[in-house]
Amino acid sequence: MREVDQAVAFLRTRLPAAPELALVLGSGLGGLADQMEDTVIIPYREVPGFPLSTAPGHAGRFVAGRLGGKNVLCMQGRFHYYEGHDMAAIALPVRVFKALGCRALVLTNAAGGVNWDFNVGDFMLITDHINFMGANPLRGENDDTIGPRFCDMTHVYDPGLQQVALQAAAAQNLVLRKGVYLGYMGPSFETPAEIRAFRTLGADAVGMSTVPEAIAASHCGLPVLGLSLITNMAAGMAGKRLSGDEVIEIANARGVVFQQLVKGIVAAL
Ligand code: HPA
């Protein structure tokens, strides 16, 4: 049996209901899972073929349940390329979501602001991305039953889902910026010169996740909504050094508002 099918078969025995929506909760944003009702918790280590998540601020488990009136399957913690995981391992949960029948994938992350108009604590709707990770989850043999060898990337971040997100944010009087997310391999933060280069290339925010999952979702035909929380201004912009602790601190401080936003979006999806 394929890895995807094994994981799907296992999850079907544990899930309370077929999930409609899938959510990936980024650094410091895992608290959203606490807002869910009728939850069932499934640690990744129990799922066949799943690696362990080691990143700080990431719990490493699925939380299934109800959020905003929908059956949701949430990843509380994700797999990052910088942890040493293969791109294939990062793509696996996305393919599992698709096979379980999810109709959309909401990807959230903490990111550094590259656009000078942004501020720490801002929320950004990802309209497109730049893959600067030097790797692609679709490299290697293609499984034609999952998606095509050469995958179109014109509308990775679904325009219809973006509209829903903008309306849900407006309904809560929250400003939702729009921008291009640049995926950086990490785990070192960028240099100020890299940030200047990325701005010239058209990036508005930079982070170390999301891009591989979005590519895998595009490949298997799962519409994506991407949301970033700007936890810091990127290297060289704020006249101070960057730290992972600060990222988690800001993510926690803005966590409640971010959770309300995502909950509102999920309810409207
Ligand atoms: N760079 C890369 N990833 C990040 C950052 C950053 O400044 N902030 C949060 N994740």
- Structure tokens belonging to residue 20: 């409609």
Express each pLDDT in 76-90 by its tens digit. 999 999 999 999 999
Mean pLDDT of 241-257: 91
Handedness of CA 165, 224, 208, 263 (dihedral sign): positive
How many domains does the structure of the chain reveal? Answer: 1
How large a percentage of the chain has pLDDT more than 90?
A: 89
> In sequence order, what DSSP letters do the residues of 190-209 get, joined into one string?
PPHHHHHHHHHHT-SEEESS
Q: Check pLDDT > 70 for residue 54.
A: no
Provide the 3-class DSSP secondary structure of residue 210.
Answer: coil
Q: Is 83 annotated as a binding residue?
A: no
CA 56 to ligand 1 centroid distance, Å: 13
Closest CA relative to residue 157, chosen from 174, 134, 178: 178
What is the helix (H) or strand (E) element at residue 78, kind and residue range? Answer: none
pLDDT (0 to 100) of residue 53: 64
Backbone angles phi, psi at 170, to 5 degrees: -60, -40
Comparing CA positions, the residue from 201, 184, 190 lying closest to residue 235 is 190
Binding site membership of 206 for ligand 1 (Cβ less than 6 Å):
yes
115 annotated binding-site participant: no
What torsion do the CA atoms of 245, 111, 34, 86 make, to the nearest 10 degrees? Answer: -90
What is the CB neighbour count within 10 angstroms for residue 241?
A: 8
Q: Could you tell me which residue, 244 or 56, shows the higher pLDDT?
A: 244
Q: Is the CB of 247 under 6 A from ligand 1?
A: yes
pLDDT at 38 > cutoff 90: yes
Rounded distance from Cα 52 to ligand 1 centre (Å): 22
Whole-number Å distance, alpha carbon 205 to ligand 1 midpoint, is 8
Confidence of residue 45 (pLDDT cuts 50, 70, 90): very high
What CATH code is carried by the domain that includes residue 137?
A: 3.40.50.1580
Q: Which pair of tokens denotes residue 64?
A: 């299934």
- Per the structure, the complete domain to which residue 137 belongs is given by 2-268
Confidence of residue 56 (pLDDT cuts 50, 70, 90): low
Alpha-carbon distance of 82 to 151, in angstroms, equals 24
Which atom in ligand 1 lies closest to the alpha carbon of residue 242?
A: 7
* 113 CB near ligand 1 (under 6 Å): no
With cut-offs at 50, 70 and 90, classify the pLDDT of residue 131.
very high
Quick check: CB of 195 below 6 Å from ligand 1? no
Tell me if 203 CB under 6 Å of ligand 1: no
CA dihedral 160, 161, 165, 167 (to 10 degrees): 30
A 10 A CB-CB count for 210 gives 25
Specify which residues 22 forms β-bridges with. Answer: 73, 105
- Say what percent of the chain tops pLDDT 70: 98
Q: What is the mean pLDDT of the chain?
A: 95
Does 29 score more than 90 pLDDT? no
Quote the CA–CA distance of 55 and 60 in Å, as a whole number: 9
- Whether residue 208 has its Cβ less than 6 Å from ligand 1: yes
pLDDT tens digit string along 185-231?
999 999 999 999 999 999 999 999 999 999 999 999 999 999 999 99
Q: Are 164 and 265 in contact (CB under 8 A)?
A: yes
- 209 is known to lie in a ligand binding site: yes
Best probe residue, ligand 1, of 133, 242, 252, 254 (max atoms within 8 Å of C-beta): 242
Q: What pLDDT score was predicted for residue 58?
A: 66
